Amino acid sequence: MKFQYAVPIIAILHIFFVGCHSYCIGTCYSGRLFPETQDIFHGKHLKGYSYNNITTNDPVKCYHHCVQDCRCKACQMKDARCELLDEDKTFKADNFTAESGYVYFDLKQTLYQGKSDIVQPGVCYNGCCRSQPCRNGGTCVEHCISPKKKFSCTCTLNYHGIVCDKTHVFTSCLDVLRYHTPKGSHPKNGKYYMHLPGLRNRLVFCAFESKNRAWTLVESYSISKIDIYRAMVFHQFIARNHNNPNWNDHRQGTHFINYIRSKSTMFRVTCDFPRRSSLVPDYLFGYLRDYDIIDHGDANPVSQNA
């Protein structure tokens, strides 16, 4: 690939540096508008880490997109496609492989500190969280040590990925627990997105007790709804707000309840679950083999966990 822009680039570079330095607040990054020869790799690409593909056949524009984006660690081009990358050839050396037609550009930047009263010395600020890059309620934290890591996201419940855009696909509350246990973490009680065999994906409320006990909420209602719920036995096909688990008015559908029952051994009925500090004394607790709440549950207490 040949570049014929040497003179215009140098002109822009000068303006860029002046503009950037004078407006720098906190930690800023400087670098060339185009990488040096040793950071350009012809016939190589980093496979599996592109997070955004831009249509352009101009390598300078491609690299510029990477420079402008806090998430970008390197970029690569093939024909008119510019791929921005979440990783670089140093961290993912195994995935940096030969592929004809590709040109890979490593992002080269250096850090410098702006002079400003807004950011106290020692406090990291680089502006990378301003655009709220973490999705699905994730929390963004800025980092000021390396130009290859400008921010990170702490994701909520069942999201993961660099910007929390990936969903874990769980098949049960127990699956959630088993996902966390090997990592030494304990999942929080809360709503998880689930894919259940033969059923539509849905949000399910899970509560976790010990290393191998997980409860699935199948029904919850407030005392003002008692007349409605009293009339709803579990083997009837009635669901209420089934995809919006909440304490006041929620009942999963019969298919879901039957599926959970087929995987469960116990049921539990708890009053005022979210405000309790202990489950002892629990309201009611039993084995499904002794009393099957699905087939016999004509009188429903306040909240059911099977």
69 is a site residue for ligand NAG (CB under 6 A): no
Q: With respect to ligand NAG, which residue has the nearer C-beta, 101 or 286?
A: 101
Counting contacts by CB under 6 A, is residue 51 touching ligand NAG? yes
Q: Does 79 bind ligand NAG (CB under 6 A)?
A: no
Q: Is 53 in the site for ligand NAG (CB under 6 A)?
A: yes
Q: Which of 75, 77, 83, 151 binds ligand NAG (CB under 6 A)?
A: 83
Options 15-23, 43-51, 103-111, 124-132: segment touching ligand NAG (CB under 6 A): 43-51
Rounded Cα gap, residues 45 and 62, in angstroms: 15
Residue closer to ligand NAG (CB basis): 75 or 218: 75
Q: Which two tokens stand for residue 229?
A: 């719920």
Stretch that binds ligand NAG, among 44-52, 199-207, 259-267, 293-301 (CB under 6 A): 44-52
* C-beta closer to ligand NAG: residue 53 or 241: 53
Q: State in angstroms the smallest separation of the CB of 201 from ligand NAG.
A: 22
Q: Is the Cβ of residue 63 or residue 267 nearer to ligand NAG in the bound state?
A: 63
Binding of residue 48 to ligand NAG (CB under 6 A): yes
Q: How far is the CB of 70 from ligand NAG (least distance, A)?
A: 17
Does 154 participate in binding ligand NAG (rule CB under 6 A)? Answer: no
Q: How far apart are CA 106 and CA 137, in angstroms?
A: 31
Please select the residue that binds ligand NAG; options are 9, 25, 26, 50, rule is CB under 6 A.
50
Stretch near ligand NAG under the rule CB under 6 A, chosen from 49-57, 116-124, 218-226, 269-277: 49-57
**What are the residues binding ligand NAG (CB under 6 A)?**
47-48, 50-53, 81, 83, 94-95
